[in-house]
Amino acid sequence: MAAAGAAFVLVAGTGSACANPADGPYSDLQRAANALGRYGHPEEVAAGIAFLAGPGASFIIGAVLDIDGGYLA
């Protein structure tokens, strides 16, 4: 069993400017804290999860794949 941890990912329907990282009051600060300097997209998280669910990860046990653009690096 493996897990994925995602952070700094843009999602639709956040509802308020403060909750929307793309243009909220802290968006520049959040982008600067991320090694890639940008937000991720749901498709990028899905690709990581698809890898963990596929045969290429058959020998990965008890690991967490951080999908965060380098924030935790």
Domains of the chain: which residue ranges?
3-67
What pLDDT, on a 0 to 100 scale, did the predictor assign at position 9? 79
Tens-binned pLDDT, residue by residue, of the chain (73 aa): 678 888 877 777 654 445 566 667 777 887 788 888 888 888 999 999 999 999 999 999 999 999 988 888 7
Tell me the backbone φ, ψ of residue 28, rounded to 5 degrees: -65, -40
Largest interatomic CA distance in the chain: 43
Record the pTM.
0.75
Beta bridge partners of residue 40, listed in sequence order:
9
pLDDT, residue 37, reads 85
Total number of residues shown for the chain: 73
DSSP H helical ranges for 1-73: 27-33, 42-53
**Amino acid 8: pLDDT:** 78
CA distance 11 to 24: 13
Residue 56 pLDDT: 94
d(CA 47, CA 69): 13
